[in-house]
A and B are shown apart, each in its own frame.
Chain A
Amino acid sequence: MPVRVGIPRYLAYFSYYPWWKTFFEELGFEVITSSPTTKKTLDDGVEEAVNDACIPIKLYHGHVVELKDKVDIIFVPRLVKVRKFFTETFCPKFLALPDLLRASINGLPEILDTRVDLSQGPLELFRISREVGERFGVGLSRISRAYLLACKALRRYKKLMQGGMLADEALQHMEKGGDINRDKKRDLTIAVLGYPYLIYDSFINLDIVKKLRKMGADVVTAEMVSPRSLLREAKRLPKQMFWHYSNRAMHAAYYYMNRKRVDGLIHVTAFICGPDAMLDRLMEIEARQYGQMPFLTVSIDEETGSGGVDTRLEAFIDMLKRRRVQR
């Protein structure tokens, strides 16, 4: 029976899943992911994780709880840096993720906590891949093949998103093929920015994307912008932030304020997230600076009642529509 490797469907999953899945399957593993977030995931996560962690970290614990009795290994990479870009790293809770899980959850299978620091150069990812493969006794040629196919899968995933698909749409397209039916263009376009695990998890963001579309707004995200365009926008910041996902969100905000102007910006933020406290304010100030771009912050926490979010979204869309009529 093949080794079963579990991949929690949360956090960096939305950025790298096709790479991980392809790589492990090509090595001969069976890949099992947790199901999309539900109330149970949230309950489990809140129960297991340290109390003062943010909701995303708690949710990740919930996904791990779901997987722990179904797999032989859980893959929880210790993401440090994925590019050489000033002093940028992932947030400290990402760096500590494997340790947090081990300290909090009983009865875990082996945690494969591969350290990922790609700031050393372009060959680093292959070196890491080789290390993982050899640990499980896989030969070099098979590892190389898995590595190349994994990189190819990730490239395709990113291309699909740059073509306008959301993460789940792109993943579905890669798995099942077929076209995502694009309905007609809507009146408004809104950039929804923030960490991928808040934007693409429809449970925890209370279905923001679906709601906006229903209200007549097309949604664009940071992943729909090419990395080159994002890097060009980076120059607008006098100093880069420390956190990878925060930088991406801010660069995308600049892009949608300047290059491809949208009707409004919505920043989705996790309550008590330290980096977000700064990012949110910065985005708000810049949105005002760059030609009065309408800006809304939606703060996400444990609550499952959607009243507050609905009222804000509805008022925001109303405002944009009435502005339009006037212009």
Chain B
Amino acid sequence: MKKGYLGIDVGSVSTNLIVIDAEDEVLASLYLRTQGQPIRVIQEGMAQLSNLVPDGVEICAAGTTGSARHLAGVMVGADIVKNEITAHAVGTSRFIPGVQTILEIGGQDSKIIILRNGIVTDFAMNTVCAAGTGSFLDQQAARLTIPIERFGELALKSKNPVRIAGRCAVFAESDMIHKQQLGHCVEDIIAGLCEALVRNYLNNVGKGKEILPPIAFQGGVAANAGMKKAFEDALGHEVIIPKHFAVMGALGAAILAREEIESSNKRTRFKGFEVTDFSFQTRSFECKSCPNHCEVVQFYQNGEVIARWGSRCGKWDVQAS
């Protein structure tokens, strides 16, 4: 039997699953859209993943990350549940030794992680603004009826990128429409948009951070070659896109799970790929015990409550392992 380690990253836009071996080589990976239904997507993903994993691999540990990490952790039986910052830092350091800066742009948030000697020394996440994240690019691609996959390639064709206001998604859009009505070609507008997003990212998330090479750029948006070029132009350094750029969070979670199990010598809590066949349901209710009226979520597996969360006082919290 070969040992395998599962990592799951459930973000706002995408859900990524990965299985690595004991040397952290990727055995199988999957990138799915969350589409607002994390439970269904995790089950579907697990079903697909079980077909992708080579025969004779046994899952020895599981880790989850992303904004739905707790939900995912309860569903599959995770040995470790970690925040995205730590997961990304761990994953990237493994594949780009000595990495000092990680630029990550996902569906709804973006972050920067500064590392020195393999240790996170500083990080920032976007605060209130979604301009520059994947969702916004998606939306603009749809408006221009350009498949998002071709966005980068078109951007690279531009000779004279137009200047677009990138401070705010709403202003950026009206600015783009304005430029388009003036007759600028689509390539220049798209390249201009990439530059605007990079400017906004560096001003907002990257404000005051010491960005030193090697610089890694990852998250779904790293698929866009136009964004890579815009970053390189703005920073004056080469920007490396790791091979598994879209699933780095999941990869980090898998590595953390492996480390957790190896160091603790415990048996994994992973429930197996059978979770695909379980029936998972959530029901929520409003607790009336105090004026806080917390929205408590109950999580059922095959009709049994296995977890409950959401109360401020903690009186409802249950976490069966």
Residue pair B67, A271 in contact (C-beta under 8 Å): no
Residue pair A318, B83 in contact (C-beta under 8 Å): yes
Contacting A311 at CB < 8 Å: which of B67, B117, B118, B293? B67
Residue pair B127, A299 in contact (C-beta under 8 Å): yes
Contacting A294 at CB < 8 Å: which of B117, B121, B208? B121
**Residue numbers in A under 8 Å from B120 (CB-CB):** 315, 318-319, 322-323
Residue pair A271, B208 in contact (C-beta under 8 Å): no
> Given the known A-B contacts A311-B83, A318-B86, are A326 and B121 also in contact in the complex, defined by CB atoms under 8 Å?
no
Residue pair B119, A323 in contact (C-beta under 8 Å): yes
Q: Which residue of A lies closest to B114 (CB)?
A: A319
- Number of A interface residues in the complex (CB < 8 A): 27
**Residue numbers in B under 8 Å from A168 (CB-CB):** none
Q: DSSP class of B's interface residues: helix, strand, loop or mixed?
A: loop
Residue pair A315, B86 in contact (C-beta under 8 Å): yes
A201 proximal to B (CB < 8 A): no
- Number of B interface residues in the complex (CB < 8 A): 23
A284 proximal to B (CB < 8 A): yes
B312 proximal to A (CB < 8 A): yes
Contacting A307 at CB < 8 Å: which of B67, B121, B128, B292? B67
Give me the interface of B with A, judged by CB distance under 8 Å.
67, 82-86, 117-123, 125, 127-128, 208, 290-294, 312
A152 proximal to B (CB < 8 A): no
Residue pair B67, A323 in contact (C-beta under 8 Å): no
- Name 10 A/B residue pairs within 8 A (Cβ), A-sorted: A35-B291, A38-B291, A203-B312, A284-B208, A285-B208, A311-B85, A312-B125, A318-B83, A319-B119, A322-B119
Residue pair A38, B123 in contact (C-beta under 8 Å): no
Report the minimal beta-carbon distance from A227 to chain B, rounded to whole angstroms.
31
Residue pair B121, A207 in contact (C-beta under 8 Å): no
CA distance A41 to B293 in the complex (A): 12
Contacting A326 at CB < 8 Å: which of B117, B125, B208? B117
Q: Which residue of B lies closest to A281 (CB)?
A: B208
In A22-77, the 8 Å CB interface with B consists of 35, 38-41
**Residue numbers in B under 8 Å from A315 (CB-CB):** 83-86, 120, 123
CA distance A244 to B128 in the complex (A): 27
CA distance A284 to B122 in the complex (A): 11
CA distance A295 to B124 in the complex (A): 10
**Residue numbers in B under 8 Å from A38 (CB-CB):** 290-292
Residue pair A319, B117 in contact (C-beta under 8 Å): no
CA distance A271 to B127 in the complex (A): 10
Report the minimal beta-carbon distance from A62 to chain B, rounded to whole angstroms.
11
